Amino acid sequence: MATASERPTVLVVEDEFIIALDLSETVQDLGYELEGPFEGNEQAISAIEAQLPDAAILDVFTADGEVYPLADKLSAAGVPIVFHSGHVPPEEVRQRYPDALACAKPCPPNQLIDLVQEAVQRKATA
């Protein structure tokens, strides 16, 4: 079995507690290292300044505003992003971030799992 340092790391930013918990469990069930969950940009930006994740799951509206400042930093660093939002349609997110993956809340678990695995795979083959 891979050690924690050998497993891909997935950053989770979600301000709704139950959803954050569910996303965190999904990430860990897939065998990935979890970074977060964070309620907003400020904590997550501090975390990525210390170490970049291999992928990120981001809600668009967080406890401290829109997630776009964080998403801009992650995109510039080449970190694949999965946007998971109940307020911004996936098409709108992809207009701003054409390389990003996106799904609308509520998202079927299998679809979210596929998107997270695709994001991690993108980083591995980059």
Residue 58, strand partner residues: 13, 83
pLDDT above 50 for 3: no
Range of the domain at 98: 9-125
| 66 within some domain | yes
104 φ/ψ angles, rounded to the nearest 5 degrees = -95, 140
- Give percent helix, percent strand, percent coil of the chain, each to the nearest 5: 45, 20, 35
pLDDT at 125: 85
- Chain-centre distance for alpha carbon 41: 12
Burial of 69 (0-12, 13-18, 19+ CB in 10 A): middle
pLDDT digit string (tens) for 13-30? 999 999 999 999 999 999
Residue with tokens 């207009």: 95
Residue 109, domain member (yes or no): yes
The tally of domains found in the chain comes to 1
On whether residue 3 sits in a domain, the answer given is no
- pLDDT grade, residue 5 (50/70/90)? low
In tens, the pLDDT along 68-90 reads 999 999 999 999 999 999 888 89
Domain-embedded: residue 114 = yes
Q: What is the CATH number of the domain that holds 22?
A: 3.40.50.2300
Residue type, 93: V
